[in-house]
């Protein structure tokens, strides 16, 4: 099931929306047919009398599950933005501290720019493939070795602070890579998709008098549910297109740290 879900999310955006719309439109059409033209329509019509507030209770449960799912997705995207900002701010602060302390900044600038360049040019394009860049790992190790060299800073306490900064960059880098593998639990998605079906069923049950009002109610709900679920699906992975967190803060490092 996990593989199926991952493959579905990897589809182009129009296909994701079309697949959702086709599925739920088919189930809505089936419910209309079942209620008024199927061989068992008399048995279905015997359920007349279910009051409209019944649909409200099912709709509330569906809305709550969608809210929980949305919270997971937005929180993951916000976490990705925070990690990137931490990475960028620490790189700039490292360069500023080196200048303020009178440290040898030429080699350090080259190491900082080398790491930022590798992230933007090499690592970012392959994050969507859930891979890590060997070039970026090498650049980060080079930066760490540069800071660890004796005499990099005139004061040992400053050098320790600079080492702490590089370790903070490494932690942010690993957190960013970890987020590329993070996914909302498939069971949450399955529950939301199933509740959408049950909500359609509830709408059909409270509209058994005439086919046109039932079809209209089902179509309106289906359209809303598809738009909502499709938007959540394309935001599921923070580093995968079409909607992904850009490397803007890392690009700013290259602008703020001169060659």
Torsion of CA 189, 195, 200, 204, to 10 degrees: 170
Q: What is the pLDDT of residue 2?
A: 67
> What's residue 99's pLDDT?
85
For the chain, give the number of residues.
Answer: 259
For the chain, which residues score pLDDT lower than 50?
none
Give 82-119 pLDDT, tens digit per residue.
999 999 999 999 999 888 877 667 888 899 999 999 99
Q: Distance between CA atoms of 78 and 84, rounded to whole angstroms? A: 10
Instruction: Tell me how far apart the alpha carbons of residues 251 and 83 are, in angstroms, rounded to a whole number.
Output: 15
Q: Is the whole-model pTM more than 0.75?
A: yes
State in Å, rounded, how far the first CA of the chain is from the last one: 49
User: Tokens 């008399």 identify what position?
Assistant: 42
Q: What is the dihedral of CA 218, 223, 224, 225, to 10 degrees?
A: 80
């Amino acid at each position: 099931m996990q593989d199926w879900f991952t493959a579905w999310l990897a589809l182009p955006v129009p296909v994701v929306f079309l697949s959702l719309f086709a599925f739920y439109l088919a189930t809505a059409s089936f419910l209309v047919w079942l209620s008024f033209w199927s061989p068992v329509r008399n048995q279905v019509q015997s359920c007349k009398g279910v009051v409209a507030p019944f649909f409200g209770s099912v709709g509330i449960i569906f809305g709550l599950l969608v809210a929980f799912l949305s919270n997971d997705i937005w929180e993951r995207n916000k976490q990705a933005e925070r990690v990137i900002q931490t990475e960028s701010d620490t790189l700039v602060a490292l360069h500023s501290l080196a200048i303020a302390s009178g440290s040898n900044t030429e080699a350090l600038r080259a190491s900082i720019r080398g790491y930022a360049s590798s992230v933007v040019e090499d690592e970012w394009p392959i994050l969507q493939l859930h891979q890590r860049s060997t070039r970026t790992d090498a650049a980060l190790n080079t930066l760490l070795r540069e800071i660890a060299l004796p005499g990099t800073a005139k004061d040992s306490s400053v050098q320790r602070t600079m080492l702490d900064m590089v370790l903070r960059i490494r932690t942010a880098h690993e957190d960013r890579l970890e987020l590329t593998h993070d996914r909302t639990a498939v069971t949450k998605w399955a529950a939301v998709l199933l509740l959408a079906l049950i909500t359609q069923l509830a709408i059909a049950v409270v509209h058994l008098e005439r086919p046109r009002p039932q079809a209209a109610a089902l179509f309106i709900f289906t359209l809303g549910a598809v738009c909502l679920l499709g938007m959540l699906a394309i935001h599921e992975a923070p580093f995968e297109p079409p909607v992904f967190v850009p490397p803007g803060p890392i690009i700013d490092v290259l602008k703020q740290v001169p060659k």
